[in-house]
Amino acid sequence: MARRLDQAVVRRPSLPLTAANEAQLAALRETSSYRSALARLSRQEFPDDSDVRESVLLHAVFEAGLAAVRQLAESEGYEQLASEYAAEDANRRRLSRRRRPAWAADQ
């Protein structure tokens, strides 16, 4: 098994690329601002020169995409929890209005 970064590579699938995909990969490889943005998103380090292997670049794009998917899923999960909490809070308020106050039992 080949090793990349800090984990063993289990499988190397093929990835069909269009001409537009090739152009975007070239921009990621050759433009320092794109490369630094990809490094931040994928949490990987890239050398300063443009000599980045295609497999490393594709893996970084994959990691950045997974991070974006995870972030969106977490955000939607928090939104769902917030809406459930708001519904429970409204129900709790409705029930508390129907209860007799504690001081009313003394009379």
Contact 8, 1 (CB under 8 A): yes
Confidence of residue 76 (pLDDT cuts 50, 70, 90): very high
Spell out the domain ranges in the chain.
24-99
pTM of the model: 0.66
pLDDT at 49: 66
Cα dihedral across residues 32, 35, 40, 44: positive or negative: negative
Q: What is the mean pLDDT of residues 77-100?
A: 80
Angstrom distance (rounded) from CA 47 to CA 56: 11
Mean pLDDT of the chain: 83
pLDDT 10s digits, 26-65: 998 888 888 889 988 988 887 766 677 888 889 899 999 9
